[in-house]
Amino acid sequence: MISKGLLPALLISVVLSFSSCTRDAYYQNNKAHQKKVAEATQVLLETPKTKLESPNDTLVINDQWIGTTNFSIRKPNFVVIHHTAQESLDQTIRTFTVTRTSVSSHYVISRDGTVVQMLNDYLRSWHAGRGSWGNDTDLNSSSIGIELDNNGSEYFTDKQIESLIQVLKVLKEKYNIPTANFIGHADLAPGRKVDPSEYFPWKKLADAGFGYWYDEKILQPDYEGKVPVNFNPIDALRIIGYNISDPAAAIQSFKLHFTKREINNPELTDLDKMILYDLYLKYR
């Protein structure tokens, strides 16, 4: 039996314990993160061995080591936007903090606009996977990954997009990221990825300075512009940045980003070609 005098103290203890557990839910994960950062830092601090110091190590290639102060750390040059394809922020964080998944992202933005940072911008996140954009074949090494809490079959919330734009403003200014280098996962991985889905408001981002958009007068019935006879749309996709080894897949990714019409049609309509030509003039 618990005495009446002990009951209030016991309740306070339980509440404090619960509060502590809630506050430190990711304590062990953050501790493991710090350990891994320390291990990566140690690699940078190591002085490379010379052949004289390690005569039997075939991986040692230098005869002499002379340090220079003319260097810097990784500088992000792209931002890749994803949707999580999951049902909640907590589910995504769980996915990104379990070792066996081998996936991560620098930022996750919830439906209510909450921004969760999971990696220092200078660290290499595992978010892009196999793919390319222009001549860059390792986007994990050159980009910041941003995941939006969205299952892929729904519109993105206003608060979420507002938070995203604020994050992009900081990243663009901080790292001098070119306007053209704000892309989607589907852009760099045609045929393999479709995020951030056809529901993503790319025009709103372009209006804010993140990525290009076409002149919407093209959509007017009385538009009289024409595509040059010698215009090659597949070459134009390549110049924008798409991998055209599978033209149909590149066209699908282009439509997901820019036209949002007849996405599964592997052919470009006349309207698609006019839009592509207008974009080609901006990206080239």
Active site residues: 147
Q: How many residues does the chain have?
A: 284
Q: In 78-157, which residue ranges form alpha helices assigned H by DSSP?
A: 89-97, 139-142
Whether the per-residue pLDDT at 200 is higher than 90: the answer is yes
pLDDT digits (tens, 9 = 90+) for 32-86: 889 888 888 888 888 889 999 999 999 999 989 888 888 888 889 999 999 999 9
pTM of the full predicted structure?
A: 0.87
Q: Where are the domains of the chain?
A: 71-213, 214-284
Distance CA 165, CA 15 (A): 38
Whether the per-residue pLDDT at 164 is higher than 90: the answer is yes
Q: What is the CA radius of gyration of the chain?
A: 24
Beta pairing class for 107-109 and 115-117 = antiparallel
Distance CA 117, CA 73 (A): 19
Whether the per-residue pLDDT at 108 is higher than 70: the answer is yes
pLDDT average, residue stretch 248-267: 96
Q: How confident is the model at residue 181, as a pLDDT?
A: 98
- Both tokens of residue 10? 């016991």
Distance CA 14, CA 18 (A): 6
CB 153 within 8 A of CB 200: no
- At residue 4 the predicted structure's pLDDT band, cuts being 50, 70 and 90, is low
Name 279's Cβ contacts closer than 8 Å, sequence gap at least 6: 212, 213, 214, 236, 240, 258
Whether the per-residue pLDDT at 19 is higher than 50: the answer is no
Structure-model confidence comparison of residues 28 and 179, the more confident one: 179
Q: How confident is the model at residue 233, as a pLDDT?
A: 98
CATH of 71-213, one of 3.20.20.210, 3.40.80.10, 3.40.47.10, 2.60.40.10: 3.40.80.10
